[in-house]
Structure 1
Amino acid sequence: MKFVIIGGDAAGMSAAMEIVRNVESPNITTLEQTAIYSYGQCGLPYVVDGRIPSTDDLIARSVDAFRDKYAIDARIHHQVTNIDTKKRIVYGDDFEVPYDKLLIATGASPLIPNWKNRQLKGIHTIKTIPQMHALLKDNAQAQHVTVIGGGYIGLEMAEVLTAAGKQVTLVQRGAQLANMLDTDMVDIVHKEAERQNVIVRLNTEVTGFKGDDVVEYVVTSQGDIATDLVIAAIGVAPSTGFVDQHIARAKNGAIIVDAHMQTSVENVYAAGDCATHYNRIKAQNDYIPLGTTANKQGRIAGLNMAGKFARFKGVVGTSILKFFDYTIGVTGLNEKAAKALHIPYVVYQYEGNHIASYYPNVKPLQIKMLVHQHTERILGVQIIGEVGVDKRIDVVATALSNQMTLSDLLDLDLAYAPPFNGVWDALQHVAKRNSKID
């Protein structure tokens, strides 16, 4: 049995390791288009201001470790250009590899629209270690940096660039930053950006760039922005352009997979940012590219390729973000998503404390909870605060995974001591105030 895996990062190598653990002396070939395997992409922004000293610190296992310790034929600089699913052969410009079972784990690529003069030097995206090295080289001399996009990466980059002593302009096409939040929750984010001297340009569309050889201006619908460096962080798209036409894909190009990570073609699997992700709240396929999901889907794919029976139960849409002194946590549905699904819901908002109100250094938590209008099933939560967001968002993620109702929160046996919580957790206060128990 010959196992071939396209992609040497989170999903791909999680799968490879499960095959190693469950198949005696497996024949595994991995094809990675770069020279780097198995690294933490989500840590890349924090190299900019030195919080993480080097990109080397992000590498979990080296190529040599996979080769020498696990006997994986881990190849580098192998970019796949085509798959023949009938002949069961993977092709590149100068190689071909036959397979019995194939995993596609090629991740996603940063989006770059057809902006005028986008080829100018000094315009960067951030997804890989080589891209970060190129950014660090240009960033050393830059005084002003323009970040295009106010999502997760854009906000993180605004923070680390400011911490590195740069003047940052954050350009957002829409009317708010942090689109994972509802409009009535985002004011804290806007005020924090202002407090940290980040220049925010909302309702501003980028159309191109100016400069002789290196970017000097960002051309927008609201005028030109003088800059030394540009970071485009407007999102990603699944890296699936090479995929065989027989493999079904969603509208955005993500490979459609079932609970076993099986594609529409027998013995071909997909996992991670190049695949769909089943959303347990929506009860349908979704696309939420996150490292946690990639590792989980890779594990499930590897187990099934090894002959085990494993199911990916899905995601509930949990994410968390640090933006200067605040933490932003979301899980489940926001109002936009609930309306799109025609789900009847009610909204409960509450300002609570992260610990007991009488304990020193108590900090507020802004909580917004969506609950099904008829069943009281929790649909989603957004939380913003300086401290304590992470533990609450994980509690709600667990509640969502178990289809809990608002009143069910009152029965949770959550940890309590004044330095860590109030006798009733802030989430339970939402339930106490609003639950309609018969």
Structure 2
Amino acid sequence: MKRYVIIGGDAAGMSAAMQIVRRKGPGNAQITTLERGTIYSYAQCGLPYVIEGSVLHPDDLIARSIETFREEYGIDARTEHEVKNVDTQNQEVHGIDRKSDQPFTITYDKLLIASGADPILPPLPGTDAEGVHTLKTIPDLKQLRKDMHERHHLTIVGGGYVGLELAEAFKTRGFNVLLIDRNKQLAKVFDPDMAELLQEETKDQGIDVRLGKSVTELKTANSGRVSAVCMGEEQQNTDLVVFATGIKPNTSFLETTDIMLSEKGAINVNAQMQTNVKDVYAAGDCALQYHRIKEQDDYLPLGTHANKQGRIAGTNMSGEKKYFQGVVGTAIFRFLRLTAARTGLSKKEAENMGLPADSVYYKGTDIAGYFNDKKPIHIKLVYRTDNQLLLGSQVIGESGVDKRIDVLATALYHNMSIDEFENLDLSYAPPYNGVWDPMQQAARRVR
């Protein structure tokens, strides 16, 4: 019986484990999963919405319990097992069982590394103070929720997806929110003209935003609790600080192996999720993803990619063949009254890659323009000037953004041109759309 070892008990790891169970059949594979935390298979992307109140309890984010994996599927699902190193020559995984503080060694025939990523906490004075948080796991969430009581002033460091989602969540809960980002715009994956719409929303909703500012120190009260955040000589009082300054692949335990890592520590894999080392696979936030538009590997750690890569890894580890088809860089988030989405390349990215690119901007409405309750929708299409192939899009509005970005993502996946996109047969009825979809209205302006 083959021995399958999986490092990581969340999206990629457990998607792979379930594929092995289904393809090999119950009892026909020895599957051991090693999770350094205490919770398996939970929705990390849902964490801000527990704070905001749309999700009632942290446990609602758990897709399957550990007992389910153990009792229904026969998986040896271990908790608090932290992997310290991998011996690829002898096909062994070594680590520490945190419960007993004892070392362990497990031998594998096939190994999947699905160890995810860790939040980045900058090495600044005061980050070890009480009241300073990151948000990546359910225990992080529970600690933050406990610390929220009777607090009023929150500082968020980082203006990316998570930072903006947290700003929304805490503003909804009545906090005074200060948002600091060292970049000169929010959501740097958007072009500056589109990100300006998010900046306007922060002004309308009373969120204090400081762009182009870097946090240099956190001040601490005599009690040991954070009391202020410093940006050079400027100082702002605060009750809570949450760092949303990005994540890094959890792969330091592989540094003594021959497994190829990118410059930032993500694992190189092929379309079957294989590493360069025999019988070792990788998937999820610790691995790279092939970007179909860039035609090169990229690091885009999202739950959608982790689940897909995990399924593909598990299928290939089982002996069948399945290939990861790559990503086009699609992402979406809600920010107060707005939804912001993007796919493919921004104009800035296209120019940095040296592509002959241009863009068109269009402001339309989410439904037929003669409805009283229509909402504005802002669209930017990026395309090649030499052959008019679509390169990407950014869409921001109060309604209908999700529908539009998914259509464009599908068009990008199939290498469609502006003309082909304009000719798509999209649904129309006045309560849902104009006779010309606003995305196609934008495409018509490319001439």
Return the TM-score normalized by structure 2.
Answer: 0.96
- Per the TM alignment, residue 222 of structure 1 is displaced from its structure 2 partner at its CA by 5.2
AA of the residue aligned to 1:21: R
| Residue of structure 2 in register with 1:320 after alignment | 332
After TM superposition, list the pairs within 5 Å mapping 1:279-290 onto structure 2: 279-290=291-302
Q: Any idea what the Cα deviations from partners look like across 1:316-346, whole Å, max 9, x if unmatched? A: 0000010000000100001221122111111
Q: Distance in 1 between matches of 2:434 and 2:292?
A: 31
Among 218, 242, 248, the alignment partner of 1:237 is 248
Q: Any idea what the Cα deviations from partners look like across 1:272-305, whole Å, max 9, x if unmatched? A: 0000010000000000000000000001100000
| Residue of structure 2 in register with 1:396 after alignment | 408
| Residue of structure 1 in register with 2:74 after alignment | 71
Match status 1:195 vs 2:198: no
| Residue of structure 2 in register with 1:216 after alignment | 227
Q: Distance in 2 between matches of 1:311 and 1:337?
A: 27
Work out whether residues 52 and 168 of structure 2, in 8 Å CA contact, stay in contact via their aligned partners in 1: no
Unaligned 5+ segments in structure 2 are 97-102
Q: Distance in 2 between matches of 1:325 and 1:128?
A: 26
| Residue of structure 2 in register with 1:38 after alignment | 41
Q: Distance in 2 between matches of 1:245 and 1:5?
A: 17
- Per the TM alignment, residue 413 of structure 1 is displaced from its structure 2 partner at its CA by 1.2
Return the TM-score normalized by structure 1.
Answer: 0.98
| Residue of structure 1 in register with 2:428 after alignment | 416
Work out whether residues 205 and 222 of structure 1, in 8 Å CA contact, stay in contact via their aligned partners in 2: no
AA of the residue aligned to 2:230: V
SS in 1 for 2:52: coil
- Per the TM alignment, residue 221 of structure 1 is displaced from its structure 2 partner at its CA by 2.3
- Per the TM alignment, residue 217 of structure 1 is displaced from its structure 2 partner at its CA by 0.8
Q: Distance in 2 between matches of 1:425 and 1:405?
A: 17
Q: Distance in 2 between matches of 1:253 and 1:107?
A: 11
User: Which consecutive segments of 4 or more residues in structure 1 shift more than 4 A?
Assistant: none
Work out whether residues 145 and 230 of structure 1, in 8 Å CA contact, stay in contact via their aligned partners in 2: yes
Q: Distance in 2 between matches of 1:186 and 1:95?
A: 49
| Residue of structure 2 in register with 1:297 after alignment | 309
SS in 2 for 1:159: helix
Q: What is the total number of aligned residue pairs between the two structures?
A: 435
Among 167, 174, 198, the alignment partner of 1:165 is 174
SS in 1 for 2:216: strand
| Residue of structure 2 in register with 1:276 after alignment | 288
Q: Distance in 2 between matches of 1:426 and 1:177?
A: 25
After TM superposition, list the pairs within 5 Å mapping 1:32-431 onto structure 2: 32-93=35-96, 94-211=103-220, 212=222, 213-221=224-232, 223-243=234-254, 244-431=256-443
AA of the residue aligned to 1:221: G
- Per the TM alignment, residue 386 of structure 1 is displaced from its structure 2 partner at its CA by 0.3
| Residue of structure 1 in register with 2:12 after alignment | 11
Q: Distance in 1 between matches of 2:196 and 2:85?
A: 47
Q: Which moved more, 1:313-322 or 1:20-29?
A: 20-29
AA of the residue aligned to 1:361: D
Work out whether residues 148 and 232 of structure 1, in 8 Å CA contact, stay in contact via their aligned partners in 2: yes
Q: Distance in 2 between matches of 1:217 and 1:272?
A: 36
SS in 2 for 1:109: strand
Identity %: 50
Unaligned 5+ segments in structure 1 are none
